[in-house]
Chains A and B, each alone.
Chain A
Amino acid sequence: DIQMTQSPSTLSASVGDRVTITCRASQSISSWLAWYQQKPGKAPKLMIYKASSLESGVPSRFSGSGSGTEFTLTISSLQPDDFATYYCQQYNDYWTFGQGTKVEIK
């Protein structure tokens, strides 16, 4: 099965910072990757699919890139609403999630 590894596990940042989260797959998954945002006590929310396609309604400060085994989620200018945990998910072979990256206030 395909393992997804995110780094870092926790990221401390300030409003306005550029933030990058990395997700690595244990084998190539082409561009078959999604990103989700989850806030405490809430369900995950789809942000990006097919590695770089922004879901409708998601602010343009979010972007995704990568293919093969290495992917990134970038927030160009962190806003107060963006403090949350982010998960990647591959859908090349079954469906598996990364362990999550918590973006916290510095």
Chain B
Amino acid sequence: QPQLQESGPGLAKPSETLSLICTVSGDSVSSNSYYWGWIRQPPGKGLEWIGSMYYSGTTYYNPSLRSRVTISVDTSKNQISLKLSSVTAADTAVYYCARHVGYSDSGSYYWGWFDPWGQGTLVTVSS
């Protein structure tokens, strides 16, 4: 199983941009078998998918966050990055990166579950 490790500032100020990096080891972000995703979890609450990206640049974003989210990949560093702009206290959460696993059905390929996950990193939005 690959290992994923999130990193970045643990504190962001309201209205600024939150930036995180996920470093992947034991697999390649250029693999044509996987997307790479970000999921977040506010303290004491449930999980929310943020977005997923294929190494070629194809991305899917949660419609509720689309206007503020950018996910990109750096194949030379085997990293995926997340940028979330105009943050508020509601964006305070543990942010996870995860490998987004594909599956085939009726001759087409789709993107399904997340496995494995990084350990997560807490980002607090506060002035």
Binding site for B on A (CB under 8 A): 1, 32, 34, 36, 42-46, 49-50, 55, 87, 89, 91, 94-100
Classify the interface of chain B: helix, strand, loop or mixed: strand
- What's the count of A-B pairs with C-beta under 8 Å? 59
Q: Which residues of B contact A36 (CB under 8 A)?
A: 47, 114
- Given contacts A43-B119, A99-B46, A91 and B110 within 8 Å (CB-CB): yes
User: Does B36 sit within 8 A of A, measured CB to CB?
Assistant: no
Give the CA-CA distance A50 to B48 in the complex, in Å. 20
Q: Is B62 an interface residue (CB 8 A)?
A: yes
Q: Which of B106-127 contact A (CB under 8 A)?
A: 110-120
Which of A1, A34, A87, A91 lies in contact with B63, CB distance below 8 A? Answer: A1
**Chain B: minimal CB distance from A37 (Å):** 11
Instruction: Give the CA-CA distance A40 to B62 in the complex, in Å.
Output: 26
Contact between A87 and B112, CB atoms less than 8 A apart: no
A50 touches B103 (CB 8 A): yes
Q: B46 touching A43 by the CB < 8 A rule?
A: no
